[in-house]
Amino acid sequence: MRDIEDMLTLDERASADFILSLRKQWSATVYPAFINEFNDSGEVISSPQEGEIKMKKMSLYPWFSHLERIGQKMMWRLGSDVVFRCSDELLAQLNAAPAVGKGSLKLDPQLDLPKWYTDIDIHMQPGSFYSNDLSGYVYQFGARIVMLRDNDGYKFHKLFANTALPDLPENARVVDIACGFGKSTRPLVSRYPSAEVIGVDLAAPGLKLAHAEAEAEGLAIHYRQEDGRKVGLPDASVDLVTGTMCLHEMPQPAIIEAIGEAARLLKPGGVIRFLEFQPTGDPARDATVYEHAERNNEPFFRALFATDLIKECEKFGLKDAKWVAFDERSEGLRPEGWPERSDWHFPWCVLQATKVA
């Protein structure tokens, strides 16, 4: 199965290199200067909301915000152009995968997508993740550049699987919520070779791509088009529920419902692990992350910060709930906190809890 990047022309590859370089300069040069300007004022900031108001008055704010947003738009434009130029071959690859092979693909054309999901182009991806059969390829292409190539070979998700996920019994069942095009699901097969691995997502295009690539690699993964708040599995039938970068895309009621559904699915003693973001206590950094909701079309980012998920876990019978810092570039799970870094990066954090036995 050919990778989308193998189909790039020289001009397209040059464009991708330019966009990647632009994002790296924004991260390593513009962001540190912006943080210095924020801190040099000496103004006391008591919340991300206050920090957001302050940063919009700063001289570097137009550069900082515009470069992130325009870089994102350039990335999606290039990805869309490449994917639709190669549409015949890409669609043929998707359609060649059997619905049932080593794994399986179960789609639901009648699934009612939530209005909060369809009302906005998440991450500014035109048409978002669900609008046509090629949306999964566009998302996959963009995700590589957004991560500054640090997730090539699924390095980031392997780090999560290997450092943040617990050992499980043989023949366990693992459910990956909001699995997208499978980037978070594949490492689960290596982490748990005997497990039944299930990936759940709202968007059919990403699931089709995830399934096709899994079958091409001989991976037994079962993909299902379902709402992560209403998974079609019995109560107390799952050993691990995991999700990466999904809760912050939901409004607060949906976030809480997703945690409740995870609790319903878990066996006694089963665990959740959600890789997300949390405030760090650094006013400048927290303000830039908080305002990312506006810069990158992620309106519910703020809802995650406003939700006490430790308390919500307790309500659903999930004990020992806590957030643990995560270093996505080298160490993975990092109980001692985030490492010092001057470049732009998210405050990655893992929500972990255990179903009461």
DSSP 281-340: S-HHHHHHHHHHHHHTT-TTHHHHHH--HHHHHHHTTEEEEEEEEEETTTTEE-TT-PPP
Break the chain into its structural domains and give their ranges: 4-355
For 253-260, what is the mean pLDDT?
98
Q: Parallel, antiparallel, or unpaired for β 266-277 and 221-225? A: unpaired
Q: Residue 187 pLDDT more than 90?
A: yes
| pLDDT score, position 99 | 81
| pLDDT score, position 87 | 96
Quickly list H helices, 126-195: 135-146, 155-164, 186-191
Average pLDDT, the chain: 94
CB atoms within 10 A of CB 110: 6
Q: Residue 233 pLDDT more than 70?
A: yes
CB atoms within 10 A of CB 329: 15
Which of 35-44, 79-88, 241-250 is predicted least confidently? 35-44
In sign, the C-alpha dihedral spanning 243, 249, 251, 254 is: negative
pLDDT band at 151 (very low <50, low <70, confident <90, very high): low
pLDDT band at 145 (very low <50, low <70, confident <90, very high): confident
| Third-level CATH fold of 4-355 | Rossmann fold (3.40.50)
pLDDT band at 43 (very low <50, low <70, confident <90, very high): confident
| pLDDT score, position 100 | 83
Q: Which residues pair with 223 in a beta bridge?
A: 105, 199
